[in-house]
Chain A
Amino acid sequence: TQLLEQSPQFLSIQEGENLTVYCNSSSVFSSLQWYRQEPGEGPVLLVTVVTGGEVKKLKRLTFQFGDARKDSSLHITAAQPGDTGLYLCAVEYGNKLVFGAGTILRVKS
């Protein structure tokens, strides 16, 4: 059983559509990080959320941390082909960073 469950596993949409991906757990965390990974590269941090109910915006990306700090969502408005990639959530677990399996997003032009 994975500590973090991400859904959907795969999402293919047209340019201009909106989408939401989810990161869920039965455990409570003090913070949660979102990363994006492009093909052939390592993941890159997008944002860290630390407060229950927190909403952070990064241009067309909106990140929310659940009130109970067990889950998080990433909403993309008007997706562009440049948003294509693997989106990973991660949490601190002891002194390790544990990742979910990720959501593969493909945005077609």
Chain B
Amino acid sequence: NAGVTQTPKFQVLKTGQSMTLQCAQDMNHEYMSWYRQDPGMGLRLIHYSVGAGITDQGEVPNGYNVSRSTTEDFPLRLLSAAPSQTSVYFCASSYSRGTEYNSPLHFGNGTRLTVT
């Protein structure tokens, strides 16, 4: 009963380094998304995907890339890490989105990233 699995749990990067945060779900959800959480700012949407092969930008996409080659996986790539990207990153999935569905989002336990 894994749900949404994120790896790694913690990561420290130097400015300019690149890395990929992994996210996998085993619930056959079509919709997947990445949020970042910063104190006092709630959860802000970075990128999302409504199905394999389809991705779109959220509220704060700059500096991040995503791809969705399978239904299960939705990796988030940091191209050139900056201190402003220090945050906790959450991956979340659901069956679908849209007001007619009201699907709950299922979240992973997050990746805490520090960029020095």
Q: Chain A interface (Cβ within 8 Å of chain B)?
A: 2, 6, 9, 30-31, 33, 35, 40-45, 48, 50, 88, 90, 92, 95-102
Contact B110 A31, beta carbon cutoff 8 Å: no
Instruction: Tell me if A41 and B109 are in contact (CB < 8 A).
Output: yes
Also in contact, A101 and B40, with CB within 8 A (given A41-B109, A42-B90, A92-B99): yes
- Distance A58 CA – B47 CA, assembled complex (angstroms): 32
Most buried by A among B97, B102, B108: B102
B-side contacts of A88, CB under 8 Å: 42-43
| 6 additional contacts (CB under 8 A) given A42-B90, A88-B43, A97-B33 | A2-B42, A33-B102, A42-B92, A92-B102, A95-B98, A97-B105
Interface size class of B (residues with CB under 8 A): 20 to 34
State the CA gap A48–B41 with chains docked (Å).
22
Q: Sort A-B residue pairs by CB-CB distance and give the 9 closest, nearest first.
A: A42-B107, A45-B104, A101-B42, A95-B97, A99-B43, A30-B99, A99-B42, A92-B99, A31-B102
Interchain nearest-CB distance for A43 vs B (Å) = 5
Using a CB–CB distance below 8 Å, which chain B residues touch chain A? 4, 31, 33, 35, 40-45, 48, 50, 58, 90, 92, 97-99, 102, 104-105, 107-110
Q: Which residues of B lie under 8 Å from residue A48 when comparing CB positions?
A: 102, 104
Nearest A residue to B41, CB-CB:
A101
User: Residue B97 contacts which of A2, A30, A40, A96 (CB distance < 8 angstroms)?
Assistant: A96
